[in-house]
Amino acid sequence: MEKVVIAGGTGFIGEYIANRFTEIGYTVLIVSRSTNHISWSPLDLANAIDNSELVINLAGKSINCRHNLENKKALLNSRIESTNSIGNAILKCKNPPKLWVNASGSGIYKPTQVHPATENETELGTNFLAQLVHQWEKTFFQFQLPKTRQIALRTSVVLGKNGGALKPLVALSKVGLGGKQASGKQKSSWIHIEDYFQILLFLIEYPTLSGIINCTSPYSVSNKSFMHAIRQTLHVPIGIPAPEFAIRIGAKLIGVESSLLLDSSYVAPKRLLDAGFHFTYSKLKKALADILN
């Protein structure tokens, strides 16, 4: 029976993929600071990872916070430390994992993209999130692991039933506040959580893929279209728009960064498409119908 190790596997994405891997017959080990899971101690981590099919690192403080100095340090350190811990554990393995997938973010691309960014994009962003992802990937790829394939999965917003970015947008839409945010022209890249899982399976079975992979639907939409699709799926006829100043005030009140709503994310999964991956939920309406109905 093949073994999968998920670091940071107690969150929204981790719980989903842990359940799905278990459903199809994998042995799943969760690395977490929570009790009843594998600890982050070097020995425990190396023993868990040894002879595994896949190690996926999802560990890191959520970006849904104010990006003040204290949180910036925590956002970076949590990612660097978990990546270093896994890399060093792999170096100690007698039978290293075949594949190490490290979470990464589509926030590395410029938020002013006119055309969708592919993995070949050379003009990357300069804001905090872009710098965060750059340092994260730099740490990941510094490990030279000849027996372990390494993939940095630059993931866009993940949509699913039990959490993630969709939950607050649905709540707003249900009370008539699900209109466009600011101009509504900013692009929103997204991925259905089941397609995220299927991508992991695809990467296991496609041994020539390594390096940077964009994990996003082929069809980004504008914020205006995104919010309209949510309302349409929920059968809510009215959505009051939120002007930019209101978003900035609201973000401060709830302790998140307004740029997470106001900046564009326009990304394309070129390498996955070129390799022949088929998205079950390539269009937003189908994804929302599955999640919300």
Sign of the dihedral through C-alpha 80, 81, 86, 90: positive
**Virtual torsion, Cα 243, 246, 248, 254, nearest 10 deg:** -130
pLDDT of residue 256: 81
Percent of the chain with pLDDT strictly greater than 90: 87
Q: Which residues contact 171 (CB under 8 A, 6 or more apart)?
A: none
Task: Using pLDDT thresholds of 50, 70 and 90, give the confidence band for residue 251.
Answer: confident
Residue type (1 letter), 178 = G
pLDDT of residue 103: 98
Question: Does position 112 have pLDDT exceeding 80, yes or no?
Answer: no
Q: How far is CA 211 from CA 54, 91, 152, 271, in A?
A: 15, 19, 6, 10
Q: Which CATH number fits domain 3-164+189-216+266-280: 3.50.50.60, 3.40.50.720, 3.10.129.10, 3.10.20.30?
A: 3.40.50.720
Q: Which two tokens stand for residue 278?
A: 């088929």
Q: Side by side, which strands form the sheet with 99-105?
A: 27-31, 3-7, 54-57, 99-105, 149-155, 211-215
**Could you give the CA distance from residue 45 to residue 23 in angstroms, rounded to a whole number?**
24
Q: Which residues contact 245 (CB under 8 A, 6 or more apart)?
A: none
Task: Using pLDDT thresholds of 50, 70 and 90, give the confidence band for residue 161.
Answer: very high
pLDDT of residue 170: 93
- In degrees rounded to 5, what are phi and psi of residue 101? -105, 120
Opening angle at CA 106, ends 123 and 166, nearest 5:
145
Task: Using pLDDT thresholds of 50, 70 and 90, give the confidence band for residue 174.
Answer: very high
Three-state SS for 95-135 is CCCCEEEEEEEHHHECCCCCCCECCCCCCECCCHHHHHHHH
pLDDT of residue 258: 85
Residues in the chain: 293
In this prediction the pTM is 0.96
Q: Which residue has the higher pLDDT, 67 or 113?
A: 67
In the chain, domain spans: 3-164+189-216+266-280
pLDDT of residue 34: 84
pLDDT of residue 230: 97
Q: How far is CA 159 from CA 11, 94, 179, 197, 234, in A?
A: 13, 37, 19, 12, 15
Task: Using pLDDT thresholds of 50, 70 and 90, give the confidence band for residue 260.
Answer: confident
Q: Is 255 left (phi over 0), alpha (psi -120 to 50) or beta?
A: left
Opening angle at CA 160, ends 154 and 162, nearest 5:
125
